[in-house]
A and B are shown apart, each in its own frame.
Chain A
Amino acid sequence: MTEILYAAKVPQLCQGYLYEPVLLYSTVSLPVGGTILAFDEGTFRNNEDFNIHLTHLKWAIRQRQTGVATVSTDERQIQRVECRLNWHDTYYQSYDFMPVPLWHTQGDDVLPDPMVFGQVNWRFLRPFLVNPEAIIEGLVSLENEEDESTYPFNLALHGKGLESGENRIIRGTIDIGFGSNNNGQDADQIITPYEDLSNEGDEPIMATDLVMNLGPLATATDPTPNYRNARASIRCHDGGTGFFWNTTPGLGTTDLPPSSDLGACLDLWGVNGSRGVTHRLPGGGWVLMPGRGFTAEVRNRNASGNFALDVTMAALGFRVIQ
């Protein structure tokens, strides 16, 4: 892979390694009454041949399709979710279940009011090298729209040219909605490929920031969008491993629609800008060797009522490719 050569050119930046963003995620449908449920086995396990260096954890209440009376999609209900992890036979952060907001230790993750409902940001701790002519494939889907409306969705990678040091942006915009581009997926979701996300220059780009933005309804008078409707999957062709950056083992304990693994909720991508909960792993983070991982258990504090919750969680970091 040529990126290794590029990475070797900037040892002060990459130490000769290639780093690729990774997001391990899953969703669990959490009933009321304090039942303890674990995320699918394998969700937070390294099932690849590369080491995975985790730096952040994310949680959010998923806003899936409407019409399920017993399920609450109120994002404030994240305050009623408790979590604990088991990592190397040790409970983290403690044996006691802890409300998810108390895991929130990332202090710089909130965007200004006008953007907070529509945009997520992820600033990579290690830059991702995008080859010349490499194509970023972004798949976007909506899961909560049943009208004929379309929403503009923007995706951008920001970075610098490896040789020139000039600012570079790879970006694409597409209108998505239930009424258009339905590729025969489940009726509640559409999936839309980006085709113009490529490095068209002649030098590699060190991508340092990922920005995704869901715009407001084109015909709405209220310009406030809601990115919680959207999910995304990303991978890079002709560069990196070619794997999707977001990986999930599948359905498991969830009762979500069959195509629920089409993408990770946008909240989960927003390490440096979202409305979810972000936990910065202490120190340098955790390194998952191939085959190793941790388990996560969650519990619903609501004792009764229509407060079943779809809790989605992710572990974020980067693949380390030598």
Chain B
Amino acid sequence: MLAHEPRVLWEVVGPLASGIEQRLDRQRFRNPGPYPILLTHALVAPVGIAYRRGSSESYGANAGALGNVTLSVRLPQRYSIHKFFLSSYAHTACGVAGPKPSPLPPAAGATPAAGLTRSSGIRGLHSWLFPHGYELDMLPSEQITVAFGTFARADVTGAPPLSDADRPILDFAFYQRSPWMGARSVSTSSFPTSATQADMRPRFNIDTFPIPTGPDAGAYGLAADAESNQDPALIFGGQFFDRSNDVAGDLDDAEAQAQRNTPSRVTGFAVMIDQINLDNAGGTTQVFMPLANLGGISIQPTADSQARGEYWWEGLAPISLVTPTINDSALVYPLPEPVILPPGKALEIWLQTEGGVVVNDFDPLFNVGVSFCGFAQIPRSPA
């Protein structure tokens, strides 16, 4: 009998110039645990490209540059090399991943709806819905800790012309399947925008999301300590997995207690970032990336006797790299056949940048995040 836990192997590299071939850090794509990992998706995102000054077309100079990235992957214990040819960013994201309402702003003039010219997306949603058989059973006594952070960019300075009202709002949800009605439940946590509740404030705020005032230098590099910023974590557990409040009718004590003691089956998670005000604040010349390409997330359930307690991935991975099901801002490549990564084995990945589209005299630079998502297969004795 196998239990499954999500796992993501990821890395961010850049900025890279055109015509570069770079081997990614093999240790970042090594299976560090004692259990095999079944990899199901590869994701590529323009991480850290948060902002471009200029017309909306210049946005594509960076985000669209992903279309000129080629990944070559050597799987362990195999002799062939798999190449992922990533064509157009928009086309590939749409054709392969599907869920891409409108992450790229339409070209100037194509304004069927107010505000969409500078929009980072319609739904602001990123999610990973676990396939049937890969859900997590969570007891009410167990907890899952979710932490958010952002990639600080030491090379970017300047006064942010943002007000509190422009701060994005972040919602997080675990989807659950309630056993008594066979339905799916969810609970959310929102980061308030009030400055008085700073301890719950995401770091997508004016302190850590500066808008550069200097000349636009293209893609921004990531600081060496990019992952050091971390907000106080959200802890989901106890009341979160207690579904007795969802019953509108009266429950007696025994029924309520029975509901609380019933394990929840976590079927996935989702992050929604409402950055409408931020997008609008950009005015007519500033275009923001979806912040999911900038903000990091970390998830760790508490340990129990079933050998859990491990982080689902190392560090604070960009949100767009850990959400293969619904993703507005990354390329999602479902592997034609799942790949089993045995303990201690690693993927070897080369990343090559070719050509690049020069738009409005911006040289193409590449700031690329790569991830492989899947599930650790953990032997579990029957209860």
Contacts and interface: CB of A to CB of B under 8 A. Distances in A.
Interface in A88-104: 88-96, 98-99, 101-102, 104
Contacts of A116: 101-102
A209 interface: no
Contact of B248 (A73, A86, A101): A86
Contact of B247 (A89, A96, A99): A89
B276 A79 contact: yes
Contacts of A76: 115-116, 119, 121-122, 124, 276
B3 interface: no
B113 interface: yes
A79 B168 CA distance: 11
Interface stretch (A107-115, A119-127, A165-173, A189-197): A107-115
Contact of B112 (A102, A104, A117, A282): A117
B90 A222 contact: no
Contacts of B246: 90-92, 94-95
Interface stretch (A29-37, A134-142, A223-231, A245-253): A223-231
Interface in A60-91: 63, 73-80, 86-91
B127 A91 contact: no
B74 interface: no
B173 A112 contact: no
B125 A101 contact: yes
Given A99-B188, A102-B186, A110-B100, A75 B110 contact: no
Contact of A102 (B101, B109, B173): B173
Given A76-B115, A90-B246, A110 B181 contact: no
B245 interface: yes
A107 B125 contact: no
What is the interface of chain A mostly: helix, strand, loop, or mixed? Answer: loop
A316 interface: no
A104 B246 CA distance: 20
A91 B183 CA distance: 10
Contact of A92 (B185, B188, B276): B185
Contacts of A113: 90-91, 94, 102, 104, 106
A94 B186 contact: yes
Contact of B186 (A77, A78, A93, A111): A93
Contacts of B274: 79-80, 99
B115 A98 contact: no
B129 interface: yes
Contacts of A110: 94, 98-101
B171 interface: yes
Contact of B124 (A74, A79, A111, A283): A79
A51 interface: no
Contact of A282 (B110, B182, B245, B325): B182
B243 A99 contact: no
Contacts of A98: 171, 173, 186, 188
B122 A75 contact: yes
Given A94-B186, A94-B187, A225-B112, A102 B102 contact: no
Contact of A63 (B90, B106, B113): B113
Contacts of A94: 185-187, 243, 245-246
B177 to A, nearest CB: 7
A77 B224 CA distance: 37
Contacts of B125: 101-102, 104
A105 interface: yes
A24 interface: no
Interface string B169-197: 00101010100011111111000000000
A277 interface: yes
A275 B122 contact: yes
16 contacts: A79-B274, A87-B181, A90-B183, A90-B248, A91-B248, A98-B186, A98-B188, A99-B272, A104-B123, A107-B129, A109-B98, A110-B99, A110-B101, A113-B106, A117-B110, A283-B182
